[in-house]
Structure 1
Amino acid sequence: MADSELRGRDRERAVLEQLVEAARSGHSDALVLHGEPGIGKSALLDMLAGRLQGFHVTRAVGVESEMELAYAGLHQLCQPFLDHLNRIPPPQQAALGTAFGLVSGTTPDRFLTGLAVLNLLSDAAAKQPVVCIVDDAQWLDRMSARILAFVARRLGAESVVMIFAVRDGVEHELTGLTELEIRGLDDADARALLDSVLPGPIDPRVRDRIVAETRGNPLALLELPLARSAAELADDRSTEALASRIEDSFVRRLEALPVDTRLLMLTAAAEPLGNPTLLWRAAEQLGLGADPAAAAVESGLITFGRHIQFRHPLVRSAAYRMASPQDRQAVHQALADVTDPELDPDRRAWHRAQATMRPDEDVAADLERSAERAQARGGFFAAGAFLERSAELTLDPARRSQRLLAAATAKRSAGALDAALDLLGGVAEGPPDPLLTAAAERLRGEIAFDQGQARLAARTLLSAARQLDPIDARQARITYLEAMSAAMWASGPDAPGILALAAAAAPPPAESKPPADLLLQALALRFTAGYAAAAPKLTAALASARTAELDTNDVGSWLWLAGNRASGIIAIEVWDLETALQLADRQDRMARQTGALLQLQFALNFRANLQCLAGNLPVVAGFVDEARQIAAATSTPQIEYGGVLLEAFRGNEVSAGRLIEATIRTATARSQGRMAAFATYAKAVLHNGLGRYETARDAAARVFEQDVIGYGVLAASELAEAASRTGDTKLVESVLTWLGVRTTAVPTDWSIGIEARVRALLESDESAYEQSIECLSRTGLRVETARSHLLYGEWLRREGRRVDGREQLRIAHDQLTEMGLEAFAERARHELLATGETVRKRRPETSNDLTAQEAQIAGLAREGHTNPEIAAQLYISPRTVEWHLRKTFSKLGITSRRQLGAALDRAG
């Protein structure tokens, strides 16, 4: 539809023009147009593209038949900018080049590829603003869709506009972006549009019924009259969905064409590239002459030029749907024959697969090779589809099961968990193969963990490990560690099979003990022989993990994940804050280097929790904010336990309570006992700060009694403090006994400091208070040090030693206030008032004028990182970094990076 024919679209035009004008001023944005088929989305995009002056416009179109070809849509969109590839950071060059098959390399992470696309567009926009238009985005291949969605969510100050059009009722990856619903025309515009295509006069009642039934859908108004006579329009009482009726109208028009013309249209529909050379070569292969093309053009349903374009995507689907299976096979075979096996082997393999209805090992092997290439480029969705079709064409039952397992593995890597489970059902149909059966069971366990079913995952992985024991000892031990990690995540006294699992874990046969084996042995001993017996092994395993060289290509694997998380848990279990911080930093660094953003969320939350203990709450807020931004950018659930503890330490009763209860609710529903225990521990922290000791005692007791590895260390002091205030002396005694075993086994400043504090609470021992403060002050645990000052001051005041108590309480109040622990600081203030000292309630000085992201960028800039380095770390573009720094400089009243250090110090 020409621009002049776009009736009733003033609202939509205004929105699109506002986006474009903002881009001229250096701003970026993304918009999703959505509506039913034929509602005018494509016409609006064509109108916009035709009006843009001074912009670089790039377009892509999703094609349903091309959804299995990885990066096909992304390559369309980025093709005009590939000459900028050498201007982006080398790791991003490698990721995007590998994804597009331009270079060979390790499997690119999709988020590193996304950052490459963001910087590619940003670099191009430095010369003139860029507008990216993607029509029928619901049919993009999954990798392209996810990467473009990631880029759209990370846009900032790049002068890039991304506009997508999606069809209602079809799932897509663009949820969460700003949407604009495209509705039908009003009655007046609809009547005018209908009148413009009617061949002659029509009964006004019939016209009004057509307008009403089409609900102002422009394509329906334009097309239905062309496929029906006036009598048919008058008699039409169809109850079919409008999209089906429009497609049926195209079918009727296609049916009126000569047989050879329909076959040519089918060939064009089956060839998603719109490549005229391929089309004419395939037509020649099919024995079609020149006449069919003339009839096709005359129909108005297709145009032939540099690219082949259907009048509407529904024409393509109608041409394909109405064809017989025999014609489809013939067309796909012709397209396979004319597709270059060197330049485009994957598309050729896919056409061959569609041309084959019976088992064919040659075609199946071709698809398997395509899957290997797709997987090497990070195209796990494509690899899964290729392997699934390969299995369907495989006659040998054993080979078929192997390909089904490979397909399920690829689909699990792509996040298609239900599809992966469906494929695993077919693996067992092959001949008995113990190794294949065990591998399938292991994959089931890993998928269960991905789905948040930690308890089921532990049981399934334990079963798989036992099956692997007599077959492959090394893989069995790895699977035992995976099972133990899942069981620890499930936690609680009924965590499935954890003791049996630990007892079954055999020592490695070799003298050289990899970190994973040491972790397995240490944890097995912890759950079978107890803490004291396991402590030396736990410490040795931790030392090995700390110095281990990690493979960046394996960062997303279960072994890496299970090992790193287990090591972090062990670091807390053996009272080693320094190693815990080192492991958290390493996990963060590895996740950033490889673009593994899900693992980065875990790393950021782990770092947040440790920094809570260190009292660096502004830093914690930055980690929490970044994790939330990543969740929003990747459309994944937020990992919130860092935020839970932050709000608990701040003493924000409403927000902390809401987060705690929501976390417990979700964790309980998913049998994630560890997460529920953590939130319950945070509840104890919150209520100890608020002075609600009974609630704090009950919460801490639930965690303490479950023996949740790593969390007992945290819950013990909360329980002792709350129980001492509620008069539950026996509870304090049990905590002291528990701590005595651990302090003897692992005597660190942390363990000794907490044990001394609990002893002081139980025995009113002043020297124990002093020992607690002395030991904890040598650690990085500023919160624990301040709380020991608070408890010591409270005890001194109750003993009637108001002057001595005032000194300790003043130290506690100043430290707690400076760290932002407002509830605990208020406790100290009330105690100071009780000693007769007047103290005003005050809040910590923070750089409230800066947003969390501005503060984070400013901090990295102060450390000497360049804009591209900051951009790579935070998954934004260098231009957005520069934009944030300009705003930060303005807020802080400075003009250069050299002034950042002093300005940030002044801002707190």
Structure 2
Amino acid sequence: MLKGRGPERNRLERMLADARDGRSGALVVRGEAGIGKSTLLEDLASAAGEMRVLRALGIESEAELPFCGLHLLLHPFADRLEGLPDQQAAAMRSAFGMAESPVRDPFLIGAATLTLLSDLAAQRPLVCLLDDTQWLDRASSDALFFAARRLHDDPIAMVFAVRDTVQPFPTPGIETMRLDGLDRASATDLLAECAPELTVPVRDRLLDEAGGNPLALIELAHALRDGFVDQAGPLRVTGRVQDAFRAQLGELPAATRLLLLLAAADGAAELGVVLRAGETLGASPADLGPAEEARLVVTAGDEIRFRHPLIRAVAYQDAPHHQRIAAHRALAESLPVAADADRRTWHRAAAATGPDEEVAGELERTAERARHRGGTVAVASAYERAARLSAGRRGKAQRIVRAARSAYDAGRPDWATRLATEAAALTDEPGVVAEAAYVRAQVAYERTSPAADAALALEGATLISRSDPERAVSMLTEAVWAARDACAHDLLRRGVALLETVRLPVGSALTPVAAALIGYGRLSDGDPAAAVPPMRALVTAVQAGTVQDFVERVIAGFMGLLIADDEAATDLLEALAADVRAAGSLGWLPYLLEPLAIGRLLRGDFRGAGADVAEGVWLASDIGILKAISVWLAAVSGDAARCQELAGEVLEHAALHPTNAALASWGLGLLDLADGRSEQALDRFEAVCSGPARHDLLIRAVPDHVEAAVRSGHADLARRHVPVLSAWAEHNVLGRALELRCQGLLSEGDQAEEHYRAALDLVPGRPYERARTGLVYGEWLRRRRRRSEARAVLVQAEDAFARLGAARWAARARAELSVLGDRPVARDQADDPLQRLTPQELQVVRLAAAGYSNREIAARLYLSPRTVGHHLYRAYPKIGVTRRMELTQLEL
């Protein structure tokens, strides 16, 4: 009986209307126990009419079993898995226990959920109702939230009901509607319907104390009527409702309460299993009758359900400890061994009263089955419970550190840190202590600082540098790269020094990785001659396929950028991105998109860089380097407000992430330089080029420093950082071109022109750098009154800037042409229709032009096929095409 809730019902009905019109929606309904969330979902299901309704219920006792909730919701449509992209279909089969293939990335199951829901909605609009979401297993809730956040143009409405608990249940990225108590009039109507015999004083007291909670009104009214609750003393809503249920349960025969305990101990157990377990404890099927007559449970077929979750909670929590142990043991014995191995193991674990290596071993096997299916939270839970049942400290420590690693992989940093700290305290075994330090290090990167990460990773690597050199190199890779991000050169040098002592096995794939990291240490010390060969060798090794691990391939891409081998680096990273997308390894994408965006930016592909940044932020909004790249892109595009806003966010964390801050400062300096504020630009570039990251990517800011110094009349400062650039330039063509531009700015007469022309000759495939050089050369020609030559060079520069989307620099070039008497007109987006596309539209159009179908594009970009279709529908008129085949003729 739904009373009141007019605004809430209207909001949900609008969601249904939007879904019928092809617009997706997702909403979390939060509230305390008994506030009416389930009733609201029932009302929504009734209002759905012809729409397909899918429903699932979270059950607390199933929270450790991966994909139970998803199985309940989508397993009836397992026959449709054949229509999913191959990787998604395989992942979903594994999650449902229908295949032996392991799940490489849990996000792939989220992508499969998204595609399957979209396919189901293609037939008729779809409503997904998830009740008691806080008790869904984490693997299922992650997959469903992933899908909910990525539904845009599908006829789907998703509603998650979440109960307020002591430990808040996060629902990131999904809008929330708070469900509070009923208003007084609605509460009075409800009470009049369910208990009309109450006297006015009792009714008013209930209304005052229940706070509009419908369950409290109904159950306490019945309990008062039936004498289960006295009328004295204050009423506590949830507590008194539980008291009412407790009183009702207390009136039942002992055998009936035992059967209810069994049902509460395993919410997924079939009625037959509950009854078999009951028989071993002396209860018969007839003993269930009193509970059904009291409306505490409902049975249908082979299913037994509690009327409300609070009844389940009371039935389990109020049972004596020895009865709960007996119940779990009986359920374990009654479950089929093969079909319910994991559930059986968890019951055996719950029944254990002390160390039990046999059960601990079973839990390890349960953990590995969960890992195989992609349920990382379940892996951590199983290993932690196995540790608690371990007979010795050594085995306990090993299991706890495995739990810590799985907790970190599952995105539970606090849990991971607690477990890692405990593991290290239990033993002095180097492997365990090192792995615990490594877990804490990776958590520390975001929770504390990259420097803290580097220090802890060094601590772990030191312990195993001789006993496990390959694992030590993995930890040192973390240490060196975190130290790079922190500009912590002392930690970087320690990491490099330790790498030099590690003796890897002959033929180890990590040998070129270790050498390249040592090389990077030399680069950070200002010795590019020693640095470049091993760094370039790693790029070559990845290109040859001898280094295939994801992390090492990403680092190779970064190495390529650091030595200005930008083309090889971006090609390598694009190939890795294709592999990651094909494998469905979404979790790795944000870390890959960072260097890929930088590579595109440095090559002048600003639109591509913007698309990578947009996707990276969409996948992981808290990656600071992506914001720093966005500062740079906003500067060249001419969006001053966004540039300054984003820079403020990045610079706020400059002490912890100085590399990001330096990149953002470079962007701000470019904004100032393009707008003619040379003094301000010089101050920013001086900080960047003198800072701790000056031998990293920021070495490419030296020409900007020289230009700002020359323009502001500080010739004494202009040459300050050129020697560093010159040393780096000896080892790459781009560096030589940048150095020549600097020499042109610093020279007079014919010598300056020689430098400019030589610089232009060295950057034919670098449209942005060529245009920057052309701009300063054109300005030099204008000052020399060589008007026609200046006009030709400046027109080329302006054209290049406009095509690249570098609006600020295009405006600078037009200003120079105006001085020559030309009246150039600023281009609008109609001149380059690709600029009118959103970053995601650009990604979709590029993939469509490459020949991918909507379904293939959806799988690669983690969208629904229908959303891909809508992106193309919106993009076609923007770029002036009417058919898909015309996309191949565009320069994308």
> Which category of TM-score, normalised to the shorter sequence, fits these structures?
over 0.9
Task: Give the equivalent residue in structure 1 for 2:648.
Answer: 661
Q: 1:425 to 1:875 in 2, by over 3 A?
A: same
Q: Give the direction of change, closer, same or farther, for the CA distance of 1:625–1:428 in structure 2 (3 Å limit).
A: closer
Partner of 1:727, secondary structure, is coil
| Match 1:251 to one of 246, 249, 253 | 246
SS in 1 for 2:721: helix
Q: Could you say which residue in structure 2 is the equivalent of 1:189?
A: 186
- Letter of the structure 1 residue corresponding to residue 680 of structure 2: T
AA in 2 matched with 1:481: T
Where in structure 2 are the equivalents of 1:296-445 lying within 5 Å?
296-306=291-301, 307-445=303-441
SS of equivalent to 1:428: helix
Is contact 2:794-2:817 (8 Å) kept?
Answer: yes
Query: Residue type matched to 1:168 in 2?
Result: D
For 2:528 and 2:625, locate their aligned partners in 1 and report how far apart those are by CA, in whole Å: 34
CA-to-aligned-CA distance 1:31-51 (integer Å, 9 cap, x gap): 222222111111122233345
1:446 has 2:419 as partner:
no
8 A Cα contact 1:575 1:713, kept in partner? no
Map Cα deviations across residues 25-84 of structure 1 (whole Å, 9 max, x no partner). Answer: 433322222222111111122233345443332211111222111111111111111111
More divergent stretch after superposition (706-715 vs 280-289): 706-715
Mapped to 2, the partners of 1:129 and 1:34 lie a distance apart of 25
Which residue does 2:266 correspond to in 1?
Answer: 271
3-state SS, counterpart of residue 426 of structure 2: coil
Residues 628, 475 of structure 1: alpha-carbon distance in 2 compared, 3 angstrom cutoff = closer
Partner of 1:722: 708
Per-residue deviation, residues 150-197 of structure 1 (Å, max 9, x unmatched):
111111333332221111355334232233333322212211211223
Give the gaps of 5 or more residues in structure 1.
555-559
Deviations 1:235-254 (A, max 9, x none): 444264x2223222222222
Residues 1:641 and 2:628 are matched in the alignment: yes
Give a deviation string over 1:435-485, Cα, whole Å, max 9, x none: 322232223223323546210111111122222123223322332222111
1:215 paired residue number? 211
Q: For 1:549-628, what aligned pairs fall within 5 Å after superposition?
A: 549=546, 551=548, 560-561=550-551, 563-628=552-617
> 8 Å contact 1:441–1:463 — kept in the other structure?
yes
Q: How far off is 1:294 after superposition? A: 0.8
Q: CA separation of 1:350/1:224 partners in 2, compared to 1, >3 Å: closer, same or farther?
A: same
Residue in structure 2 matched with residue 497 of structure 1 by the alignment: 491
**In the alignment, residue 218 of structure 2 is paired with which amino acid?**
L
Equivalent residues of 1:505, 1:524 under 8 A apart? no
Residue 737 of structure 1 and its aligned partner are, at CA, apart by 1.4
State the partner residue of 1:758: 742
Q: Which amino acid aligns with 1:373?
A: R
Q: Distance in 2 between matches of 1:629 and 1:526?
A: 33
How far residue 529 of structure 1 moved from its aligned partner, in angstroms, is: 7.6
Aligned-partner Cα distance in 2 for 1:762–1:58: 71
Contact kept in structure 1, 2:404 and 2:415, CA below 8 Å: yes
- What is aligned with 1:557? none
Listed as ranges, the matches of 1:817-896 within 5 Å are 817-844=802-829, 845-847=831-833, 850-889=837-876, 894-896=881-883
Distance 1:597 1:683, change over 3 A: farther
Task: Say whether the 8 Å CA contact 1:572–1:580 is kept in structure 2.
Answer: yes
Q: Is the 8 A contact 1:99 1:108 kept in 2?
A: no
Q: Give TM-score scaled by structure 1 length.
A: 0.92
CA gap of 1:452–1:547, structure 2 versus 1, over 3 A, is farther
CA gap of 1:638–1:88, structure 2 versus 1, over 3 A, is farther
**1:760–1:766: 8 Å Cα contact kept in structure 2?**
yes
Number of residue equivalences: 881
Of residues 736, 750, 773, the one that matches 2:722 is: 736
Is 1:465 paired with 2:451? Answer: no
2:516 aligned partner: 519
SS at match of 1:394: coil
How big is each residue's C-alpha offset from its partner over 1:656-682, in whole Å with a ceiling of 9 and x where there is no partner? Answer: 0110121121343xx222222221222
Give 3-state SS (helix, strand or coil) of 1:806's partner: helix
Larger deviation, residues 355-364 vs 166-175: 166-175
User: Cα offset for 1:816?
Assistant: 1.6
Instruction: Give yes or no for contact 1:458–1:483 (8 Å, CA) kept in 2.
Output: yes
| More moved, 16-25 vs 312-321 | 16-25
Deviates more, 1:524-533 or 1:400-409: 524-533
Give the secondary-structure state (helix, strand or coil) at the position aligned to 2:300: coil
Q: In structure 2, what is the Cα distance between the partners aligned to 1:463 and 1:628? A: 32
* Cα 1:571/1:261, change in 2 over 3 Å: same
CA gap 1:610/1:432 in 2 versus in 1, 3 angstroms: closer
CA distance in 2, matches of 1:512, 1:732: 48
How much has 1:230 moved relative to structure 2?
A: 9.1
The TM-score, its normalising length taken from structure 2, stands at 0.94
Q: How does 1:57-206 map to 2 (within 5 A)?
A: 57-169=53-165, 171-198=168-195, 200-202=197-199, 204-206=200-202
- Which deviates the most, 345-354 or 564-573? 564-573
* Partner Cα separation in structure 2 for residue 199 and residue 26 of structure 1: 45
- Alpha-carbon separation, structure 2, partners of 1:825 and 1:851: 21
Deviation string, structure 1 residues 272-312 (Cα, Å, up to 9, x no partner): 11521211111112210234211101111111113222111
Q: Does the CA-based 8 Å contact 1:206-1:234 persist in structure 2?
A: no
* Shift in CA distance, 649/893, structure 1 to aligned 2, threshold 3 Å: closer
CA-to-aligned-CA distance 1:73-123 (integer Å, 9 cap, x gap): 111111111111111111111111112221011234122111111222222
Amino acid at match of 1:722: A
Q: In 1, distance between residues paired with 2:761 and 2:602?
A: 17
Moved more, 344-353 or 658-667: 658-667
What is the percent sequence identity of the aligned residues? Answer: 35
Q: Distance in 2 between matches of 1:816 and 1:694?
A: 24
Q: Indicate the SS of the match to 1:342.
A: coil
Read off the aligned partner of 1:396 and give its amino acid letter: G
The 3-state SS of whatever aligns with 1:615 is: coil
User: What is the CA-CA distance between 1:320 and the residue it aligns to?
Assistant: 1.4
1:784 is matched with which residue? 769
- CA deviations over 1:873-896 (Å, ceiling 9, x no partner): 111122222233334446666543
Code of the residue aligned with 2:256 in structure 1: it is T
Q: 1:859 to 1:435 in 2, by over 3 A?
A: closer
Displacement of 1:234 in angstroms is 8.3
Look up the SS of the partner of 2:444 in the other structure: helix
Quote the Cα distance in structure 1 between the aligned partners of 2:675 and 2:526: 39
CA displacement, residues 400-431 of structure 1 (integer Å, 9 cap, x when unaligned): 11111111111111111111111122223434
The CA distance in 1 between the partners of 2:58 and 2:230, in whole Å, is: 36
Q: 1:782 to 1:386 in 2, by over 3 A?
A: same
User: Counterpart of 1:768 in structure 2: which amino acid?
Assistant: H
Candidates 473, 477, 498, aligned match of 1:481: 477
Q: Deviations over 1:588-630 (max 9, x none)?
A: 2233233333431233343333333333333333333323333
8 Å CA contact retained: 1:367, 1:389: yes
**Partner of residue 287, structure 1:** 282
889 and 818 in structure 1: CA distance in 2 versus 1, 3 angstrom threshold:
closer
Contact in 2 for aligned 1:34/1:166 (Cα 8 Å): yes
Aligned residue identity for 1:356: A
Task: Work out whether residues 635 and 808 of structure 2, in 8 Å CA contact, stay in contact via their aligned partners in 1.
Answer: no
Which amino acid letter does the alignment assign opposite residue 217 of structure 2?
Answer: L
3-state SS in 2 of match to 1:497: helix
* AA in 2 matched with 1:300: R
1:387-409 deviation line (CA, Å, top 9, x unaligned): 11111111211111111111111
Match of 2:45 in 1: 49
Is the Cα contact below 8 Å between 1:459 and 1:496 reproduced in 2?
Answer: no
The partner residue of 1:807 within 792, 810, 825 is 792
* Amino acid paired to 1:472: D
